[in-house]
Amino acid sequence: MSVQRLSRNPDLVPCELIVDGYAVPYIEVLEHPDGHFSLTLMRPGCSPLFGMDIETEDELGRWAPMLAQAMAVSAGRTSHGENSRPHNPHGSNQIAVAEPVIPTAVEEIAAS
């Protein structure tokens, strides 16, 4: 896990969260002057969904792999990183199923 600093803003430093060499999308990390981090889950074009403050870079390192996996799986991937691939390589979200057969009361009595 690494935090790649994107600017040298003296107040808050926006950072890109990198796990195993791959950026974690939709996660905004701000480094504060006192050394703690604000982590925010962003939704493109919308307001932030969730945020939390993290005291140290070590603590951020413990959260980062879990967040990376969660973001990858929620995006329809098998995992985060090098071995990531689409969860369903066939591109189909449904399979054809027959219409369900629901027995009626008369059929249940006849069968017993």
The per-residue pLDDT for range 21-43, each reduced to its tens digit, is 888 888 888 888 888 888 888 87
Residue 28's nearest CA partner among 18, 1, 38 is 38
Q: Give residue 55's domain range.
A: 1-112
Domains identified in the chain, total number: 1
Rounded to 5°, angle at Cα 78 from 89 and 5: 125
pTM comes to 0.61
Instruction: Give the pLDDT band (50/70/90) at residue 89.
Output: low
